[in-house]
Amino acid sequence: MKKKLISAFPSLYELSDERVKLLGKLFLSFNQTDRDALISIAKGSFKRGSPYAPFAPYLFTFLAKYHDLDVALNCAILHIGIDEIGLNTLHAISNLLRYDSGYPSDSQINCIATSFSEAQETLKSVWEHKQQKPAASSSQRTYFRIDALITRIVQQAQEIKYRRLKEHLLNDTNLEINQDRQKLTTGLAKFGFGKELIESLDHAEDEYRKADSKFDFKTAVDHNRSFLETLLWETAGKVASIRNESLTARQKYPVEIRSYLHKAGFFSDRFHELCTAFYGFASEQSIHQLASGREIARIVRNMNIELGLVILRRLELFK
């Protein structure tokens, strides 16, 4: 039976390969200099002369999930070869599209469709040139399997584009929230936030996805509230460091943290009011309630992600 192009429930996808997860955790534990070095090694490993080339499929997934999907795709496309390494790397790309179709942005999906169509034509020319000489049957089988897999990847990209358009027209859903959550995770790592903070965001997402009762949704809301509380605390520490001053606000008093960020000029008056109001709302729906609901959990989850992105953008510009 032919495998479906896209999983029926991509929101349930969870990265499970232990090697990729361990490499990701190692990456998150590094400082920025060591992270850059690891990324450089991973990118260079796609070259066939590298001793790590056989691990290209795992390195593609690592780069895509923990660093930058565009970088991962560029490395894979640039070093496509008619061999088992090329075949296995294409399988990794196809699996990402099948099981995590909400992750790539619209522009990335368009790029995948175009780039792999062009790569397919290039490989065809290379193969036809080789046919002027006798070719082993195994090499021929590998080429045809690669050609079929590239066709599948292009079809998957087209299917994702169709589904997103359909969802947008019929359900008016927020198709960008998964992309924004990934941007937030990447940004937290980039700015050196604690590993536990990133893991708490993932845990909050897991609680939201698996919730099926009003008590479960309350738990999801509470985890998102705790994430924001810790994000503001760690942000305050970074702001104090930039300002070359001691942070006197206490972690157990969130109002002091928000007040410090406001007085330091990191929060505008309006953004301070927004964060205060949102934190109060999330607290009312978690700490001060026995249960919550799906819509409340969805609003808190989505707002949490978008506020987190705004905070990271402010941190990037803060002097």
Domain boundaries, the chain: 10-171, 177-317
- Tens digit of pLDDT at every position of the chain (319 positions): 456 888 876 656 667 788 898 999 999 899 999 999 999 999 999 999 999 999 999 999 999 989 999 999 999 999 988 899 999 999 999 999 998 887 888 889 999 999 999 999 988 888 887 766 555 567 888 899 999 999 999 999 999 998 878 766 654 455 578 788 888 999 999 899 988 998 888 888 888 777 767 777 788 888 888 999 999 999 999 999 999 999 989 988 999 999 999 999 999 999 999 999 988 888 877 654 545 667 788 888 899 999 999 999 999 888 6
C-alpha 317 chain-centroid distance: 23
**For residue 106, which of 67, 188, 162, 153 has the smallest C-alpha distance?**
162
CATH of domain 177-317: 1.20.120
Per-residue confidence (pLDDT) for residue 39, from 0 to 100: 95
CA count, 13 A, side-chain hemisphere, 301:
27
